[in-house]
Amino acid sequence: MSLVISKFGGTSVKNFKSMQNCVNLVMRNQARKVVVTSAPSGITNNLVALGDGGLTHQQRIEIFQQIEQQLHDILNMLVDTNGLISDRLSIMLNDMRELASDPELNICPEKQDWLLSYGERFASLLLTQCFIEKGVNAVEFDIREILLTDENHGSATPNTAALGLLAKDLLKPKLENKLVITQGFLGKTESGKTTTLGRGGSDYTAALLSEALDAEKCEIWTDVAGVYSTDPRIVSEAFPLPELSYDEAAEMANFGAKVLHPATLAPTLRAGIPVFVGSTKEPEKGGTTIVQDCEQEPHYRAITRRREQKLVTLQTPKLLRTNQFIGKVFSVLDKFGLSVDLITTSETSISLTLNAGDQTNLASASKGALSELSQMCDVEITSGLDLITIVGNKLHQNNGVTSKIFALLEDVSLRMISYGANPHNISFLLDASDSESTIKKLHSGLF
């Protein structure tokens, strides 16, 4: 059975018209048998704001109204003959309001995940009905039946072995005669509590399902016609890349290309499944295919940006030698699931920038790690920085690379540079106010 998993992002399901684009696109290829949906765009942000608890009563009412309006606008376009979808939606909206008014919500990650899950569950309810009303034998499937995770709410780690077994038992049989619509981003602990995989995690769900069901392709349908040479919202001359290697795509995702969640490439690489990225609105424009080996491996492939970076400078305590101190620092970071992106050391201090693995919440992990480090030494934090990365191939082996890049960066003041540790990237830390102009300069100079 040939099988393609198709994931639709938030903008692809944001209203009735965009849902119709998804339906038409899926119907064009019989192999598309599993649809993974994100929440309609805007809804997860709204639910996060409700969960944080920092809103006034009036602001909360406005958010409820916004969510209800967006969903009712879709519902009103459906035939929904016996009113079942309307009934289910009202029940869900009432439950969501009740949960969002829970006074413990802002201190309870478990309840926050439960609240966030409404976004994807609203989408799967309405999108399934769109398919059914077009005559497709579609069925909604609760991904939490098969995607078990640990208890790390907010960035849970999936149990891939269990998913492999459960997907074959509970999901695969349905694919013989049905189109399955399921939720991205969500999981469930062994004890039945809803979890989420981290913001943007629906891409990861699609990749995990592709691996579990041995799909021939994993499609990520979004609002751009593929992965571009840089974010097309920053550089209008950015161009789509027809082909990318898993390594290049993983570097891009890891260093901030939002079009793919950083964890997406791991399962598809393990299973050797190509990933396609394309535009739901303009599928005819083609897109990017991500495979193991590309025909061309250019030195410079793309430029990415990761925003809101913090530079942490730690003063070496007088009684410790630098290398002893580095050991201690790394063990604290490891304890909190943090890794280091950039690092420089001197006799008296270490400067570094932090990154969280896919399964770690950067903000809370950094807070914990920095408070523990401040018991060992003086800690200074500089904010307002961006990390720009040039992604490519064999960058460390090419003599002309540094001179070309540094010539382009002549009048930019760089706070830190990372080069040589990996053949696929060169990264710079710089003031956020310089980052857009620097990306434009690098893009026109390198491409």
CB of 174 or CB of 199, closer to ligand ASP = 199
Question: For ligand ADP, what does the binding mask look like between residues 254 and 273, x meaning CB under 6 A?
Answer: ---xxx--------------
- The site partner of 119 among ligand ADP, ligand ASP, Mg ion, none (C-beta below 5 to 8 Å per kind) is ligand ASP
- Widest Cα–Cα separation across the chain: 76
Interatomic CA distance for residues 366 and 355, integer angstroms = 9
CB atoms < 10 A from the CB of 52, how many? 11
Residue 201 CB, shortest distance to ligand ASP, in Å, is: 5
Between 201 and 267, CB nearer to ligand ASP = 201
Q: Degrees (nearest 5) of the Cα angle 81, 86, 87?
A: 110
Burial of 400 (0-12, 13-18, 19+ CB in 10 A): exposed
Residue 410: HSE in the Cβ half-sphere, 13 Å Cα cutoff: 5
The residue of the chain with the least Cβ separation from ligand ADP equals 9
Position 227 contacts ligand ADP (CB under 6 A): yes
User: How far apart are CB 203 and Mg ion at their closest, in Å?
Assistant: 6
362-373 and 322-335 helices, crossing angle to 10°: 140
* CB nearer ligand ASP, residue 223 or residue 247: 223
List interacting residues with ligand ASP (CB under 6 A): 9-10, 38-39, 44, 119, 184-185, 199-202
> Distance from first CA to last CA of the chain, Å, rounded?
42
Q: How far is Cα 163 from Cα 186, in angstroms, rounded to an integer?
A: 13
Task: Tell me which of ligand ADP, ligand ASP, Mg ion, none is bound by residue 201, counting a contact when its beta carbon lies within the kind-specific cut-off of 5 to 8 angstroms.
Answer: ligand ASP
Q: Smaller CB distance to ligand ASP: residue 88 or 199? A: 199
Q: Which of 40, 109, 119, 200 binds Mg ion (CB under 5 A)?
A: 200
Nearer to ligand ASP, 44 or 245 (CB): 44
Closest contact distance (angstroms) between CB of 179 and ligand ASP is 20
Closest listed residue to residue 7, CA positions, set 129, 124, 118: 124
Rule CB under 6 A: say whether 233 interacts with ligand ADP: yes
The two structure tokens encoding residue 148: 């078990």
Q: What are phi and psi of 137, to 5 degrees?
A: -80, 80
State the DSSP code for 154: T
Closest CA to 126 of 179, 71, 186: 71
Between residue 284 and residue 303, which ones bind ligand ADP under the rule CB under 6 A? 302
> Which of Mg ion, ligand ASP, ligand ADP, none is residue 185 near (CB under 5 to 8 Å by kind)?
ligand ASP
Token duo for residue 428: 């710079």
Cβ nearer to ligand ASP, comparing 221 with 255: 221
Angle at 337 between CA 10 and CA 380, to 5 degrees: 100
Contact positions vs ligand ADP (CB under 6 A):
9-12, 38, 200, 222-224, 227-228, 230-233, 257-259, 302
Contact positions vs Mg ion (CB under 5 A):
9, 200
